[in-house]
Amino acid sequence: MRVLICAGRFYADSNNVTRILELCEQKQPIDVVIHGGHQSLGGIIEGWARDADAHVVRYPANWAMHGKYAEVRRNLFMLEDSRPDVILAFPGGEDTADCISLAHKAGIKVIEIDS
């Protein structure tokens, strides 16, 4: 299964992210973990993936090229390019909501996680 993780840039509950990934892994093996280079959680996500023997695909926002639209453009490209089976959406702001909306429009299953 290909899992994309999205969260607000200030979301930092690494225990919750790890717990949710473990629950998902119990239901169906995770082969690929996709994320946007989250500053607080990126290392936790990638560490979990290494321990689970899953591949990691990282899509950091290109601030130099796209300025204030970097996250929006990254989210659109990330969804189209990575082809996730499911999105784990942790609390966030407008860009996280935009990612969730794009996923719904694309018919991708979204699991919204409360804090």
Domain boundaries, the chain: 2-112
- For the segment 52-106, what is each residue's pLDDT rounded down to a tens digit? 999 999 999 999 999 999 999 999 999 999 999 999 999 999 999 999 999 999 9
- For the segment 4-47, what is each residue's pLDDT rounded down to a tens digit? 999 998 999 999 999 999 999 999 999 999 999 988 899 999 99
Question: What CATH class has 2-112?
Answer: alpha beta
For residue 47, count other CB atoms closer than 10 A to its CB.
13
Global pTM value: 0.94
C-alpha–C-alpha distance, residues 115 and 107, integer Å: 24
Task: List, in sequence order, every beta strand (DSSP E) within the chain.
Answer: 2-6, 32-35, 55-58, 86-89, 109-112
